[in-house]
Chain A
Amino acid sequence: MNQTGQFQLGIDIGGTFTDFSLSGREFRQLYVHKQLSTPDDPLQAVREGLGVLLSKAGVQLAAISRITHATTLVANAVLERKGDTTGMLCTKGFVSALDIGREQRYDLYDMRIEYPEPLVPLPLRREIDERINSRGEIETDLPEQEVLEAVRELNGRHRISSVAVCFINSYRNPVHERRAGEIIAREFPGISVSTSAGVLPGIREYERWTTAVVNAYSQSIFRTYLSELDAWLTNNGFTGTLHLLGSDGGVVNMDTARQYPVRMLASGSAAAALRCGQLDKTNAGSDLLMLDMGGTTAKLGIISGGKAQKRYDTEVGLVYRNKSGSGLPVSTPVLDLAEIAAGGGSIAAIDERGALKVGPESMGAKPGPACFGLGGEQPTPADANLLLGYYGTDSFPGGKLKSSSGLAEQVIAGNLAGRLAATVPRTAWGIYETVNENVSAAIKHYSAERGIDYRQCRLVACGGAAPAHALAIAGKLGMAQVIIPFASGVASAVGLLSAPVSFASKQSYRTALSGLSPEGFIKRFTELENSILRSISHEDAAAGKPETARRLDMRYLGQGFELEVSLPSGADMKSLYAALPDLFHEAYEKHFFTRFPDRDMEIINWKAEVTVAGTLPVDGCKPAGHSNGGASTGVRNVYSHKDDRFVEWPVVNRYALRQGEKFTGPMLIEDDECTAVIHEGDSVEIDDRLNLVASPVSERYEQ
């Protein structure tokens, strides 16, 4: 086997499963693997899963040149409140900032809305008598002794493992935060420090401080994990580059990842979006609607022209009816995706109306759904899908995990069916349909918020659970086409193989355009780009010729919000400078249907992104898998809701399917990671890259 170091590896740790992918530029084959996550020691699943994958492919770890890694570790720490004991130092007068919040109700009419508890409770916050004013001038010097005393006292009482330093106006002058960070790091090497302007140098203290607190809260968990991973890889002969995937779909190097875990908040779903991007490049046509559904949650996203939109604010840990506004605001670059609590491991229960509900609580990987036999005592969609016959006991999604229909039946009968006065299969079908309804409602909401007609989009099923639900959901929504990509059960891991190696940086420097010289303009961008180039490792720099993209956040003087203006690439800097007013007026008019040609404008943020390597073209890679024998592997009894009885559905091995083949449902298409459920009347065609392109029957659901 080819061992020339041309291999690339993707690893995605999700709440329930850890997924792997392997390919290479010359290799032209794609190996994948799915392994149950091990939340208590995430590395365990990585070690075991990598072992299986590498031996399957016959490749040594030493032959891997690049690993791109996504993980939900950070989001889970916040969601489940399992992060570090974190302290907070803030400017005198602002100890209540986390309690006071945004002072706005996120719903006008609902009097029962709830808000999340702050990650740092009041007893772990300390005020420091320092102050920098809004012009960035020092008003009250930093009392260094007071800082040390505060940390010593917090540590003595509460054993803090990290601290967030949150000072007012630090976006303008971070010197006090920086100094406090330095002396804490010196005196308390065991405590990790996050400074708010270091995490995000933007104005608006509440959002900046919450972001810094989330960063601090997840820092030592994440650091420990990364060090262990790094050490293990090195000990096993890995000499290549390890990158993390940032929430915006760009890679992050190890140093940055250690310092700013908050940037990895949504890295798993960013990876799935990259996978959809791979499809869109060749599947020219309408926009894609990504449904990335794993064990814990489902994510939605619109992929247009191969890319998801970027945004700079998100929320983590929604606490009320999944409503935006009910979580902790985090300002960090992310893809514009929505998350809903609907996964294969979501808990099905009876709510106060006496009706069935699924989620938002989840069994996660441990103990997982009841049918895993790992001690789960709550029914989940995975249990339901097993009882309905969609999943087989020997071919359960997740690397052929053995599963027990007896255990599934026990929890569904005991917890639900009795109280609903329904049969077990009928109850299981109710769970399946409830998940489909929840996801459909979320898709409607997500598209409405963005003014998109989802019926014009193609639904892409990513993640272990999506292929079982996607056609039913698309049928409900009247969507004409569903794509179930090859290796859809590990879509995020495959997406990681095409993560562009690019590094971005942003600098806040506010200047009126009338006061900016061409030299000043050129100098600022040159400095920014040089600082990025300096942070790129030799390995990365060697990967290709750097390409630079430049953007500015601008506004009319006197406004409070900026508009991002992309500067055309290829133009020389002098003519770019001359074109700035027109570029802004045009961008503004496009967005807001008006322009103010006589007004001065100002630049708020300067952004540059240097891309040093293109993506691995996964499309051309031949999927590796067993394809011995025919496609048919037999039949399975599947519950028919219409007739209230079990009927035989054909079961097909996905690895044996060939381009151009066409089928009509009902049928089940299985691979090692997932099962695609093709309902009666749905049609499926296999495309040139072995993706399933399916058309659901929509009348099925019309009453």
Chain B
Amino acid sequence: MNNNSLDIITLGLLWDRLISIADEILLALVHTSFSMTVREAWDAGAVIFDRSGRPIAQGSQSTPAFTGTAFYTIEKLLESYPAHSLEDGDVIITNDPWIGTGHIADVSVLRPVFRDGDLIGFVMTITHLVDTGGRGASVSSRDIYEEGLLIPPLKIYRQGRLNEELLDIIKGNVRAPEQVVGDIMANISGTYAGGVKLNEMLDQYEHDDLQDIADGIIRQSDTAVREKILAMPDGVYNNQLQAETRDEQPVTLACTLEIKSDRVKIDFTGTSPCVPYAINVPLCYTRSWCAYTLKCLTTPYLPNNLANVLPLDVTAPQDCILNAQHPAATLGRNTVGWYVAPLLMGAFARALPEAVQAEPGMATAVAFNGTLRNGGKLLDQYFATGGIGAMTGLDGRQTTPAPTNCAMISSEIWEDETDIAVLERRILPDSGGAGQYRGGPGQQVVLRNNTGHPISLALFGIRTEYPAKGYAGGRDGGLRAFRINNETVPGKGTHTLSAGGLFTIREAGGGGFGDPGKRPGEKVREDYRKGFITSTGAKQDYGIEIPEE
């Protein structure tokens, strides 16, 4: 086929096919992983690039945080290993937070793909490793050196030959070498499968390379994104919010959003400085949530690629908590980074009041570390989600992650692997913010330590003091809380759970949208029947009496 004559129908076909290849790689990663976080919570990503390093397709269910990091990761990796120096069978690996996804726990693996000896593109996969050594999963680290083994960009395969020395270094520095190495190998074979499938696709369509496909994908997407931005009212919009830390003092996150013609500028001047523990955010992660929010508001129905970051400029003062510099500790960067999405949404609300979603209750990841009943190593993360925010015409859904999208872990799988029993997972009534459209309620989760040993749990809790804000007159959602044996404990830090002890998570609700007085009585009564509000809540928030049955 003549590559210059790529018609829109063929482009559509090849585009869909690329996404399907990325989806396949992602599914293979999830299915082969030795880590529960990857295979149950989908903490993983897969991206396909053209030969100049432009991302052109992404696995549809990749973690949203990876929406905007990959294009930057590859840029940095190719600085270390220029594209022309790469050979077939090379594989580059790193977990450098400033190159990858903002923390040491995610490993990025990049493989150049060749066709008849010529470089045609790259396949990258990213997964969350169960351990990287150091203090383990904890926010207590004061700098990156305490967070464990940092792998700078290195070749783990060189022309198809495994770099066993590097693998040995990794094995020697982590708590669960079998799982960690298994997952690294799964990433490597995922990128290999991607390369094979790309070549198969090009064979089928009698195509020499990916370039005209990439040009077409980015051109079509870029036009669509810019059209949407053009339609937004030009102006400068500010927002700020506060987030709890481990200290008395909260951090302030501030942004200035400038919409001008078909470009969006976001600056984080006014944001608090870094802190001496692991909740600092490298700019790559901050930028990623900017790209994500812009995508939700412009082209949610289009697949993700480079076009989504092209109209976007993101700046932040050096050493503010949203632009942490080496050697800041960043393992829990998501606990502050997730706020970037609602922070921006609040700024966009001033420009597009009908298009935005009230703040989400967000989610919790609890890192457990201890010994299993049979003496094996316990090293797993438990996820629980709060409710999401309401928007015009739509109540927020209960127990749904936002802005992240880590799935829950089945209670049975969790119990089977950890010896920690799930005693309860119930909707928390009245936790969703009241409004004409109601915020999503959170849930109460109760876990019991059945391992027979005391275990440690590291909390990265958010919204323990600052609730999800309601919009347009909607009320705030309920707060998150943690209890050990019915005693409330601080939301960030490491705690011990004795054998047989109970650990309770009360998940935060999402913000409401619009005046609660405008919510129809029938909807309020339906919420009551569904267990989303109590009769007290109905009376207090909506002034509606629910007769006792």
- Give me the interface of A with B, judged by CB distance under 8 Å: 92-97, 99-105, 107-112, 114-115, 121-123, 133-134, 168-169, 171, 203-206, 444-445, 447-451, 453, 455-456, 478, 556, 558-561, 563, 591-594, 596
Given contacts A108-B292, A109-B299, A556-B182, 4 further A-B contacts (CB under 8 A): A122-B529, A134-B419, A134-B421, A203-B412
Considering only residues 290-345 of chain B, those with a C-beta below 8 Å from chain A are 292, 295-296, 299-301, 304
Q: Are A100 and B24 in contact (CB under 8 A)?
A: no
Q: Are A205 and B410 in contact (CB under 8 A)?
A: yes
Considering only residues 435-484 of chain B, those with a C-beta below 8 Å from chain A are 443, 446, 450
Known: A109-B296, A169-B415, A592-B189. A96 touches B425 (CB 8 A): yes
Nearest CB of B to A321, in Å: 9
Q: Are B178 and A558 in contact (CB under 8 A)?
A: yes
Is B272 interfacial (CB 8 A cutoff)? no
With a cutoff of 8 Å between Cβ atoms, the chain A residues found around residue B32 in the complex are 559, 561, 592, 594
Q: Are A561 and B39 in contact (CB under 8 A)?
A: yes
The 7 closest A-B pairs by CB, nearest first: A448-B16, A93-B424, A103-B408, A594-B189, A104-B407, A109-B300, A134-B415
Pick from A93, A114, A556 the residue with the most CB of B within 10 Å: A93
Q: Which of B17, B189, B422 is the one whose CB lies under 8 Å from A448?
A: B17
Q: Are A450 and B20 in contact (CB under 8 A)?
A: yes
Instruction: List 23 interface pairs A-B (beta carbons < 8 Å), by A numbering.
Output: A93-B423, A99-B398, A99-B530, A100-B399, A103-B400, A103-B408, A108-B61, A109-B292, A110-B301, A168-B411, A168-B412, A203-B410, A206-B410, A444-B13, A451-B21, A455-B13, A558-B178, A558-B182, A559-B33, A559-B34, A592-B31, A594-B32, A594-B189
Distance, CA A561 to CA B35, complexed state (A): 11
Q: Are B423 and A99 in contact (CB under 8 A)?
A: no
Nearest CB of B to A140, in Å: 11
Q: Are A110 and B413 in contact (CB under 8 A)?
A: no
With a cutoff of 8 Å between Cβ atoms, the chain B residues found around residue A456 in the complex are 204
Of B84-92, B96-104, B190-198, the one with at least 4 CB within 8 A of chain A: B190-198
With a cutoff of 8 Å between Cβ atoms, the chain B residues found around residue A451 in the complex are 17, 20-21, 24, 197
Distance, CA A453 to CA B391, complexed state (A): 39
With a cutoff of 8 Å between Cβ atoms, the chain A residues found around residue B413 in the complex are 203-204, 560
With a cutoff of 8 Å between Cβ atoms, the chain A residues found around residue B141 in the complex are none
Q: Are B410 and A105 in contact (CB under 8 A)?
A: no
Q: Are B450 and A593 in contact (CB under 8 A)?
A: no
Distance, CA A122 to CA B411, complexed state (A): 20
Distance, CA A107 to CA B292, complexed state (A): 13
Q: Are B443 and A96 in contact (CB under 8 A)?
A: yes
- Give me the interface of B with A, judged by CB distance under 8 Å: 9, 12-13, 16-17, 19-21, 23-24, 28, 30-34, 36, 39-40, 42, 60-62, 64, 67, 178-179, 182, 185-186, 188-189, 192-193, 196-197, 204-205, 292, 295-296, 299-301, 304, 357, 383-385, 391, 394, 397-402, 405-408, 410-413, 415-416, 419, 421-427, 443, 446, 450, 529-531
With a cutoff of 8 Å between Cβ atoms, the chain B residues found around residue A134 in the complex are 412, 415-416, 419, 421
With a cutoff of 8 Å between Cβ atoms, the chain A residues found around residue B61 in the complex are 108
Distance, CA A627 to CA B30, complexed state (A): 58
With a cutoff of 8 Å between Cβ atoms, the chain B residues found around residue A96 in the complex are 425-427, 443, 531
Q: Are A594 and B300 in contact (CB under 8 A)?
A: no
Nearest CB of B to A134, in Å: 4
With a cutoff of 8 Å between Cβ atoms, the chain B residues found around residue A108 in the complex are 60-62, 64, 67, 292, 304, 405
Pick from A94, A105, A447 the residue with the most CB of B within 10 Å: A105
Known: A560-B33, A593-B193. A105 touches B401 (CB 8 A): yes
With a cutoff of 8 Å between Cβ atoms, the chain A residues found around residue B443 in the complex are 96, 100
With a cutoff of 8 Å between Cβ atoms, the chain B residues found around residue A122 in the complex are 529-531
Nearest CB of B to A231, in Å: 40
Known: A444-B12, A478-B9, A559-B39. A107 touches B531 (CB 8 A): no
With a cutoff of 8 Å between Cβ atoms, the chain B residues found around residue A92 in the complex are 424
Nearest CB of A to B302, in Å: 8
Q: Are B399 and A104 in contact (CB under 8 A)?
A: no
With a cutoff of 8 Å between Cβ atoms, the chain A residues found around residue B179 in the complex are 558
Q: Are B406 and A205 in contact (CB under 8 A)?
A: no
Q: Are B529 and A171 in contact (CB under 8 A)?
A: no
Known: A93-B446, A103-B385, A448-B16. A121 touches B530 (CB 8 A): yes
Q: Are A104 and B301 in contact (CB under 8 A)?
A: no
With a cutoff of 8 Å between Cβ atoms, the chain A residues found around residue B196 in the complex are 593
Q: Are B407 and A102 in contact (CB under 8 A)?
A: yes
Distance, CA A428 to CA B234, complexed state (A): 43
Nearest CB of B to A703, in Å: 9
Distance, CA A593 to CA B31, complexed state (A): 13
Q: Are A100 and B410 in contact (CB under 8 A)?
A: no
Q: Closest B-chain residue to A450, C-beta based?
A: B20
Nearest CB of A to B330, in Å: 23
Q: Are A453 and B405 in contact (CB under 8 A)?
A: no
Pick from A96, A97, A445, A558 the residue with the most CB of B within 10 Å: A96
Q: Are A111 and B412 in contact (CB under 8 A)?
A: no
Distance, CA A109 to CA B301, complexed state (A): 7
Q: Are A112 and B531 in contact (CB under 8 A)?
A: no
Nearest CB of A to B111, in Å: 12
Q: Are B16 and A111 in contact (CB under 8 A)?
A: no
Q: Closest B-chain residue to A444, C-beta based?
A: B16
Distance, CA A103 to CA B388, complexed state (A): 11
Q: Are A100 and B411 in contact (CB under 8 A)?
A: no
Q: Are A445 and B60 in contact (CB under 8 A)?
A: no
Q: Are B416 and A203 in contact (CB under 8 A)?
A: yes
Distance, CA A447 to CA B23, complexed state (A): 13
With a cutoff of 8 Å between Cβ atoms, the chain B residues found around residue A109 in the complex are 64, 292, 295-296, 299-301, 304
Distance, CA A204 to CA B383, complexed state (A): 15
Q: Are B425 and A93 in contact (CB under 8 A)?
A: yes
Distance, CA A445 to CA B42, complexed state (A): 22
Distance, CA A120 to CA B92, complexed state (A): 51
With a cutoff of 8 Å between Cβ atoms, the chain A residues found around residue B300 in the complex are 107, 109-111
Q: Are B530 and A448 in contact (CB under 8 A)?
A: no
Nearest CB of B to A385, in Å: 26
Q: Closest B-chain residue to A455, C-beta based?
A: B13
Q: Which of A99, A100, A449 is the one whose CB lies under 8 Å from B20?
A: A449
Distance, CA A449 to CA B197, complexed state (A): 14
Nearest CB of B to A534, in Å: 30
